[in-house]
Chain A
Amino acid sequence: MMDNPTHALIVENLGKRYGKMEVLKGIGITVAPGERVALLGHNGAGKSTLIKLILGLTHPSSGRISVAGHAPGSTAARTATAYLPEQVAFHKSLTGREQLTLFARLAGEHPKTVMPLLDRVGLGPAAQQRIGTWSKGMRQRLGLAQALLGHRHVALLDEPTSGLDPMSRHDLYAIIDEMAANGTAVLIASHALTELEARTDRIAIMRRGELVADDTLARLSARAALPTRIRLTAREGAADHVQAQLGGTRVNGCSVDLQCTTDQKMAQLSRISGLGEVVRDVEMAPPSLEDLYRHYCGEGM
């Protein structure tokens, strides 16, 4: 199978059924070398299933996948692919170093690459301890370390932030950026849109087995046209007056919530300042990542 070298990963019209249940419907997505794509969707949307199909761990009911120009599950495709599973598990009785050495041998890498990698993910001091004694976060880091073995064309990270503390998340950004800088196509599955996913080049969104969006964050925000929220705090007893003037909804005694689109923002603000003394404070919240996620993944679409 020969494919366009500008794409490390190609998924075309992919369908997957388990019995009668259609888990994936006509999924099409491509990832170029060096590109970072976040794959978002609620639990059960089909993200992990898509990743398992790309890995060749399970087989599609319809459609086509090409991994660095090879069929999924072939030796060449597996050599080219790094994978961080959603529930990462290892042999409990092996030490971190022994487990990673096993993976290095399987990947055809020299065992001397193992210690630097363990240091890279901050596991150097724990390398000689059995994995059975480790915390979930440490196992997650080991999972990340094995995904960094050798040079891979495609990296599939399934919920890579689960179990990581904020500091480790920060390291994770750096590692993902490094992978991409080395030309690896990175696909990150996640059930939320957070800082990490927002830092990717593109965001693909799945809902109940279908791809409902695939674009940059900026364009997704523009298309969603989500309102900015404004919260006014009125002087004592003046909340009713403010609501009568501007509309919106009353919250806890002296506050009023308003919504407006981006282009109405300035007009709304001048009306607020026109009320003068009765408004004691104004807070503005532009649409958050969470709002955006809810907009595309919510059931109300």
Chain B
Amino acid sequence: MITRILAIAAAEFRTVRRNRWVFTATLMMVLFALALTFAGSAPTGVLGVDLLTVSVASMTTLAVYLAPFLALMIAFDAIAGEVERGTLGLVLTYPLSRGEMLLGKFLAHLTALAIAITVGLGAAGLASALSGGASADSLFALTRLIATAILLGACFLALGYAASALSGSAAGAAGLAVGLWLVFVVLYDLGLLGAVVFDNGGSFTKSVFPWLLAANPADAFRLWNVAGSEQVALVSGMAGAGAGLPIWAAPLSLLLWPVLALLMARLAFARVEP
């Protein structure tokens, strides 16, 4: 089983390396992270924190948008694209289960994504630490940011596979992926915001809202990074949002999502006839 998963992963990783996906994604991460870090370097003096802390706070916001985007971009083609190009039928006649195939792709894509995220956020973190100072606390925050961004990417990779298996064509899968990104990253928060405004400080805002926030992987990612560091929370101004939640809620959500989404993708994949 492991041999087959690794065989798929190796071939898949070669493909994403050769079509420059790894390079392009890494470049995007580096450029955005550096730009945000140095554009957002103003409030250090006012808040009395080092530049790396500020940088981590702004990169958290960046990663919420960029990690799901990159993950969906790489994942949407995984199944629908193979059906369309006619490569899936032959592979599936080998003694390889669909679950193994999915895991192999997941492994390769997650590695590619992890490279882009680690290099991108790491480079910006290093640059700000060198120019504006760092502390044990802010270095830890940076490490946590990178690790959780990879988890967030893992979750959207799996969601992308589900979209890819559910749609009949690569173009349809791309559309569905954009839809997923909009819903999870933009619309969900807007909806919650509207509900909170409407509720006007009532019981919804106090008891339901934090849980709904943690249920969305993108928000769970934000909560985890913010709740983990008082200083990051201070800079990002998001301290209040997750206050009513137990400490494990956001991490649990972010760890559970990739697993559930992979199971979902596996179920959707089962119905695909090449």
A residues apposed to B, CB below 8 Å: 52, 55-58, 75, 78-79, 81, 83, 85, 87-91, 93-94, 98-99, 102-103, 105-108, 143, 146
Give every chain A residue within 8 A of B87 (Cβ-Cβ): 89-91
B105 to chain A, nearest CB (A): 12
Give every chain A residue within 8 A of B14 (Cβ-Cβ): 93-94, 98
Are A58 and B273 in touch, CB under 8 angstroms? yes
Asked if B200 is an interface residue, CB under 8 A from chain A, the answer is no
Are B93 and A83 in touch, CB under 8 angstroms? yes
Could you name 22 residue pairs across A and B whose Cβ atoms are closer than 8 Å? A52-B89, A55-B93, A57-B89, A57-B274, A78-B94, A81-B93, A83-B90, A83-B93, A85-B86, A88-B90, A89-B85, A89-B87, A90-B87, A91-B15, A91-B87, A99-B11, A102-B7, A105-B3, A105-B7, A106-B4, A106-B8, A106-B96
B residues apposed to A, CB below 8 Å: 3-4, 6-8, 10-11, 14-15, 18-19, 85-87, 89-97, 273-274
B148 to chain A, nearest CB (A): 31
Nearest residue (CB) in B for A89 is B86
* Measured CA separation A85–B86 after assembly (Å): 9
Most chain B C-beta atoms within 10 Å of own C-beta, residue among A55, A57, A58 = A57
Are B93 and A102 in touch, CB under 8 angstroms? no
Are A106 and B95 in touch, CB under 8 angstroms? yes
A111 to chain B, nearest CB (A): 10
* Measured CA separation A56–B85 after assembly (Å): 20
Are B89 and A75 in touch, CB under 8 angstroms? no
Are B273 and A107 in touch, CB under 8 angstroms? no
Are B90 and A102 in touch, CB under 8 angstroms? no
A47 to chain B, nearest CB (A): 15
Nearest residue (CB) in B for A79 is B95
Give every chain B residue within 8 A of A55 (Cβ-Cβ): 93
Most chain B C-beta atoms within 10 Å of own C-beta, residue among A58, A103, A106 = A106
* Measured CA separation A93–B3 after assembly (Å): 22
Given pairs A75-B95, A146-B90, 12 additional interface contacts (CB within 8 A): A58-B273, A78-B93, A85-B86, A88-B86, A91-B15, A91-B87, A93-B15, A94-B11, A98-B14, A103-B94, A107-B95, A108-B3
Give every chain B residue within 8 A of A102 (Cβ-Cβ): 7-8, 10-11
Known: A57-B273, A58-B273, A75-B95. A85 touches B11 (CB 8 A): no
Give every chain B residue within 8 A of A90 (Cβ-Cβ): 87
A298 to chain B, nearest CB (A): 31
A253 to chain B, nearest CB (A): 51
The 8 closest A-B pairs by CB, nearest first: A105-B7, A89-B86, A106-B94, A93-B18, A83-B93, A78-B95, A102-B11, A79-B95
Are A107 and B86 in touch, CB under 8 angstroms? no
Give every chain B residue within 8 A of A107 (Cβ-Cβ): 94-95
Nearest residue (CB) in A for B16 is A93
Give every chain B residue within 8 A of A105 (Cβ-Cβ): 3-4, 6-7
Give every chain A residue within 8 A of B91 (Cβ-Cβ): 106
Are A98 and B11 in touch, CB under 8 angstroms? yes
Give every chain B residue within 8 A of A57 (Cβ-Cβ): 89, 92-93, 273-274
Give every chain A residue within 8 A of B97 (Cβ-Cβ): 75
Nearest residue (CB) in B for A99 is B11
Give every chain B residue within 8 A of A88 (Cβ-Cβ): 86, 90
Nearest residue (CB) in B for A108 is B95
Partner of A87, one of B7, B86, B92, B96: B86
* Measured CA separation A87–B89 after assembly (Å): 10
Known: A85-B89, A88-B90, A89-B87. A94 touches B95 (CB 8 A): no
* Measured CA separation A56–B95 after assembly (Å): 12
Give every chain A residue within 8 A of B89 (Cβ-Cβ): 52, 57, 85
* Measured CA separation A146–B86 after assembly (Å): 16
Nearest residue (CB) in B for A106 is B94
* Measured CA separation A99–B12 after assembly (Å): 11
Nearest residue (CB) in A for B92 is A57
B239 to chain A, nearest CB (A): 47
* Measured CA separation A88–B96 after assembly (Å): 19
